Amino acid sequence: MTVSAGTKPFAWPIRVYYQHTDAGGMVFHANYLSFMECARTELLQSLGFDLGELARRDRVLFVVHSAQIAYHKPALLNESLTVTAQVKRVGRARLEFDQAVMRGERGAGERRAEPGVRQREELQARRGA
C-alpha cells in the first residue's frame, strides 16, 4: 500500500449536530480540526492503512507536526458539510495534507461552495517507545 501526492481529494460528508456547536449555534472552532482528523483517517483507511493496526503491530503513530487554518464563514447547526482531504506531499516520515470543509452538494471533487475552513497539515510518523 502506498500513498501518493496529487491524487483526487477524498470527500467525507458530515452533518453539524448540537455537540459540534457553541451557544450561538455555530460550529465551535476546534471541531473543524476534529472533522479534518476524521476525513484524514477515512482517506488513509480507504487506501488500505489501518491506523489502529499500525499502532498495535508496528508501533507507528501519526502526530500532527504543524497546522495552518483559516476560518471564512461559520457552519451552522444541522448544515450538511463535506470535508475533503488530499495528500499534497509524501516524505520519508511525513505526510502533508490539504483539507477543506465546504457547504453544499458533494460534487466529484469540485469546490463550488465557499470554503468554511481550509487547513494544510503535516503529519509525522513516530515509533512508540
**Residue 1 in domain:** no
- What total number of domains does the chain contain? 1
Q: At what angle do helices 29-46 and 51-58 cross, to 10 degrees?
A: 70
pLDDT per residue over 75-126, tens digit each?
999 999 999 998 888 887 788 888 989 986 533 233 323 333 444 555 555 6
Domain extent at residue 87:
10-127
CB 118 within 8 A of CB 102: no
- Give residue 43's pLDDT: 92
Query: Global pTM?
Result: 0.77
- Rounded to whole angstroms, the Cα distance separating 92 from 12 reads 27
- Compute the radius of gyration of the chain from its Cα atoms: 15
Q: Which residues of 48-83 are buried (b: 16+ CB within 10 A; e: fewer)?
A: ebeeeeeeeeeebebeeeeeeeeeeebbbeebebbb
Q: How far, rounded to the nearest angstrom, does the alpha carbon of residue 11 sit from its chain's CA centroid?
A: 9
CATH of the domain at 23: 3.10.129.10
Q: Please say if the pLDDT value at position 71 is more than 90.
A: no
User: Which of 22, 50, 58, 98 is the catalytic position?
Assistant: 22
- Rounded to whole angstroms, the Cα distance separating 32 from 8 reads 21
**Residue 99 in domain:** yes
On the CB side of 52, CA atoms within 13 Å amount to 2
Residue 22: active-site member: yes
